[in-house]
Amino acid sequence: MNPTPRIACIGECMIELQQRHDGSLQQSFGGDTLNSAVYLSRELYGQGRVDYVTALGDDSFSEAMCRSWAAEGIGLERVQRLPGRLPGLYCIQTDAQGERRFLYWRNEAAVRDCFTTPAAAPILAALPGYDVLYFSGITLAVLGSVGREKLLEVLIEARQRGARIVFDNNYRPRLWASVEQARAAYRGVLQHVDLALLTLDDEQALFGFADSAAVFAAYADCAEVVLKRGAEPCLIRCAGESFEVPGQRVEKVVDTTAAGDSFSAAYLARRLLGGSPLQAAEAGHRLASQVIQFPGALIPRN
C-alpha cells in the first residue's frame, strides 16, 4: 500500500437540517460517505489524500458544500457541478435519548446522475488509479441501476490494479424499490470487497440474518469484516482471527447521527496507517463516542 494512500469516497452529500427542541432549524451538510470522508481526512493527519466523488448543482448550497470540503482538506477534482440541479436535503429529529429520525427530500438530487453524464467518463477512468475506494449501501441506492453497473466495472478494474475496496453496508429500505432489488445490488458488489464495515441491524433488515455468526458466514470470502453493534462491542474477523472490542461509555448521548460513519472512518484510517484491527476498532469507538455527544453529523474539528 502507498505510504500516503489516495482514497476516493463515493456517494452523496445533502443539505442537513437539525430540528431543535424548540422547533428551530440549524442548517449544515451531511451524508454517510461524506461524513466518513471528513473524519477520514482528519484521522489521517495529512498522511493520505481523500477525494470525494459526487454530483452537485450550480446553486449556493452546492458552492458552500465545496468550500466546506476544501477546508477539511478533501479534494474536489471528482465533484461534478450540474447546471440547474440541486443537492438532496434531509432533516434530523432526535428524541430525549439522542436517537434520531430522518426525513428526506432527495428524489431529484444531482447525485443520481453522477455516473451517467458525459463529464463522468474521465472520473470513472481515474477511479481505478486510487489506492482505496470507499462506498456504501446508500451509494448503491442513489446511483441507480446504470450507475451501479458503472461502479461495479470500476471496482473490478481497481482491484485488479491492487486497490483496496471498502464497503459500509448502510441499508436504507426507502431508497430501494424492493428488498429483492437491494439484495441483488449488494450481492453484485460484495464479492469485490476487501474490507466490509457492517451494521448488524442493517444486515438483519436486508438479509434476515439471525445473528452475528450468520453474518460472518455470509461474508466468508471477505478478507476483513467488522460488525458494528451500536453500544455493544464490535466484532471483527481478519486473517483467520476474531476480536471483540468494547466501546467507550458516554454519559449523555446527544445525537447518534454519523456514529457508524465516524467509526468506519477512524477504523479505516488506523488500518491505513499500519494499525492492527484491535487498534483500529479502539480508534473507531473513541471517535464515535465523541461524535454522539454533539448535534449533527460533523462535530467541530477541535
40-99 pLDDT tens trace: 999 999 999 999 999 999 999 999 999 999 999 999 999 999 999 999 998 888 777 767
39 vs 73: CA distance, rounded Å = 11
In a domain, 298, yes or no: no
Question: For the whole model, what pTM was predicted?
Answer: 0.94
Is residue 98 in some structural domain? yes
Return phi, psi of residue 127, to 5°.
Answer: -60, -40
- With beta carbons less than 8 A apart as the criterion, state whether 161 and 129 touch: yes
**Residues catalogued as catalytic:** 261
- Whether residue 84 lies inside any domain: the answer is yes
Contact 235, 229 (CB under 8 A): yes
Residue 253 lies in a domain: yes
Domain with 131 in it:
6-291
Q: What's the mean per-residue pLDDT of the chain?
A: 94
Q: pLDDT tens-digit profile of 140-173?
A: 999 999 999 999 999 999 999 999 999 999 999 9
Number of domains observed in the structure of the chain: 1
Are residues 273 and 1 in contact, defined by beta-carbon separation less than 8 angstroms? no
Q: Is residue 300 domain-resident?
A: no
Residue 179: inside a domain = yes
The CATH number linked to 116 is: 3.40.1190.20
pLDDT at residue 243 in the model: 92
Please indicate, yes or no, if residue 44 is contained in any of the structural domains: yes
Report whether pLDDT(299) > 70: yes
**Is 296 among the domain residues?**
no
